[in-house]
């Protein structure tokens, strides 16, 4: 391995927190079966919520799968502190997270409703 390749590999590992090697592969079809808990907030264009404060709910379609999974893991661990998201993430397995990430990363999902 040359120096540039080694540096790139180490940077990718550091950014992933080392989790990429252990993450299960996501299945968009299984993810589609699990989106009910997400669509109530994240599937409505311009949606705002009032709990725990008023804010704009982000759209999650088109999100990069690794980021999506890391965000859900952070809610589950408490690293991110939104009460509703923490409660939802607490019910998800690593496979559920990977499946949802695969579904929301799919090109057809990212362009739906636009």
Residue 101 preceded by cis peptide, ω within 30: no
Give the domains, in start order, of the chain with CATH numbers: 24-111 (1.10.760.10)
Calpha distance 89→100 (Å, rounded): 11
**Amino acid 3: pLDDT:** 55
Inter-residue contact 99 to 30 (CB < 8 Å): yes
**Amino acid 21: pLDDT:** 47
Calpha distance 83→78 (Å, rounded): 9
**Model pTM?**
0.71
Tell me whether residue 78 is exposed, middle or buried, using C-beta atoms within 10 angstroms of its C-beta: 0 to 12, 13 to 18, 19 or more: exposed
Helix axes 65-77, 94-105, angle to 10 degrees: 140
pLDDT in tens, the chain (114 residues): 445 444 554 455 555 554 444 668 999 999 999 999 898 888 877 777 776 677 788 889 999 999 999 999 999 999 998 898 999 999 999 999 999 999 999 987 755 544
Q: In sequence order, what are the residues at sequence separation of 6 or more whose Cβ sits closer than 8 angstroms to the Cβ of residue 104?
A: 31, 38, 60, 61, 62, 63, 65, 68, 110
**Amino acid 114: pLDDT:** 44
């Amino acid at each position: 391995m040359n120096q540039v390749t080694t540096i790139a590999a180490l940077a990718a590992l550091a950014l992933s927190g080392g989790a990429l090697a252990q993450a299960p592969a996501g299945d968009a079809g299984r993810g589609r079966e699990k989106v009910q808990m997400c669509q109530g907030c994240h599937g409505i264009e311009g949606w705002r919520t009032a709990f725990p404060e008023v804010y704009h709910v982000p759209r999650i379609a088109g999100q990069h799968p690794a980021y999506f999974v890391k965000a859900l893991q952070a809610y589950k661990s408490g690293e991110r502190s939104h009460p509703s998201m923490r409660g939802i993430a607490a019910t998800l397995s690593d496979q559920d997270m990977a499946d949802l990430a695969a579904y929301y990363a799919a090109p057809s999902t990212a362009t739906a409703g636009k």
